[in-house]
Amino acid sequence: MLWVKTFHIVFIASWFAGLFYLPRIFVNLAMVAPGSVAERDRLLLMARKLLRFTTLLAVPAIGLGLWLWLGYGIGQGAGNGWLHAKLGVVVLIVLYHWICARMLRALAANTDQHSHRWFRWFNEVPVLLLVVAVALVVVKPF
């Protein structure tokens, strides 16, 4: 079980690294000067590759978490409301990941009109979600 936990944490950390960096690429895309095709194409390529890799990391991260929950019974039983709250946060993280994918498609199609300032704020969302998820696991307040 400890190896499963170890790999779960490693995949989660790697997944979040991608979720931290992808919106930063969106900031750079929003700042590209009109007519700078090579720069825009390079940033779109970076974002697509990062999204693909981040998605590949999310699958084992979630799968190992489910294995810990269902296979080992972690968080089951009375006094484990923290896990239900954490699972709610995980759903929000997956939703954020999905929104990033949609935004990348909109940026590639040149239909996204958000400013670089908006993307800078959007970039802070996964930090907040990570803090809440880790706090729920460590503190187990419920």
**Residue 140 in marked binding region:** no
Cα distances (angstroms) measured from residue 32 to each of 14, 61, 75, 104: 27, 34, 46, 15
Alpha carbons 132 and 121: distance in angstroms, whole number: 17
Handedness of CA 118, 123, 126, 128 (dihedral sign): negative
Alpha carbons 49 and 28: distance in angstroms, whole number: 16
**Residue 49 in marked binding region:** no
Residue ranges at the known binding site for heme: 8, 86
- Binding residue numbers: 8, 86
